[in-house]
Amino acid sequence: MENYRTLGRSGLRVSPLCLGGMTFGNDWGWGADEKTSAQIIRNFMDAGGNFIDTASVYTNGHSEKIIGDVIGNSSSLRSKTVIGTKFSGNIFPGNPNGGGAGTNAIMASCEQSLRRLKTDYIDLLSIHQWDWDTPLEETMRTLNRLVESGKVRYLGVSYAPSWKIAQAQVLADWKNWTPFIGLQIEYSLLERTIESELVPMAQELGLGITPWSPLKGGMLSGKYIAGKEKTSGTRLGDTGRDLNIDDRTAKILAALGRIAESYHTSIAAVALAWVMHKPGVASTIIGIRNPDQLDANIAATRLTLQAGDISTLDELSPPPPTFVTNHLETARMFQHGGIEINGRKPAALPLVANMQAGKY
């Protein structure tokens, strides 16, 4: 796993896998206890991982505390660990300023996270849920103040439309404020809708993508086979979600099984490797509840998928078309005139085709 990448347009080096902290603490009824969580963190770092992601709201703040008890109590571990946390969630019922992205909420959340993490700086602070009730200028100005104070090193964002993130990046550039370098979004073979807008936006504006739920909440872990569904003891079952293996999902799982067999590895490793191969992806977030799951996920870092296998999975899992993606080939037809440009040769407009055929 010691094949580090820079996160977005920055000098921050992160491991190809990021250890997600939403499973740290069983306060929500399905995570790992403190002892198991601490062991997972140590095993992850022993394997070369250096990037840990959490949020102020995860297990009501317990996740940050567990990370702080392991990392914050050791100066040697802290110096080589990239800790990312997120704000805007409210864990204080009845307090209207306990969440969101206003100045009061941001400053208070940052101080609380620093205390729980037992550190004097946060490597990557991200907006968790976008706050539509706070002016963007207030949010970006406050975040820039935190960076200038030294309490935060870099900024990221999650759960926001591409146009809003682009607006924030332009505002930061105009005001000489700190821009975002990380984009945390859901990405898997079963969730590819980000590819039409968010992925190209991130690549253009310098944000490294850190996908979450790359196994779609365990759906792509290899635990579930059509006709043999069993969710007891799994995250799907513990969180009360239904297991719905439709035809599309069944075909993807079958292909993953065949590819995994050819590489002598697991379905989960192939599904993870597919995400890690995608353009713009810097570090993929994994959710772990026991050390065995960690070992299975790390196997993906040793797997290099052949182009044909990636194409097979791409063809089985296309995202639903949007206006933009629907219009791409039409746009090229109008622009290219049937000429190949950058490896693409679209059909010519009927008028051009008829002229080439000598009909005019």
Residue 112 CB neighbours (<10 A): 17
Separation CA 6–CA 105 (nearest Å): 29
Letter for the amino acid at 47? A
Letter for the amino acid at 281? V
Mark whether 360 is an active-site residue.
Answer: no
Q: Look up residue 28 and give its two tokens.
A: 């929500």
**Interacting residues of 73 by C-beta distance below 8 A, sequence separation 6+:** 118
Separation CA 52–CA 19 (nearest Å): 5
Please classify residue 156 by burial: count the beta carbons closer than 10 Å to its beta carbon, then call 0-12 exposed, 13-18 middle and 19+ buried. buried
- DSSP labels, 246-304: -HHHHHHHHHHHHHHHHHTS-HHHHHHHHHHTSTTB--EEEE-SSHHHHHHHHGGGG--
Catalytic choice (58, 154, 187, 224): 58
Q: In degrees, to the nearest 5, what angle opens at C-alpha 283 toward C-alphas 215 and 277?
A: 70
What positions carry a catalytic annotation? 58
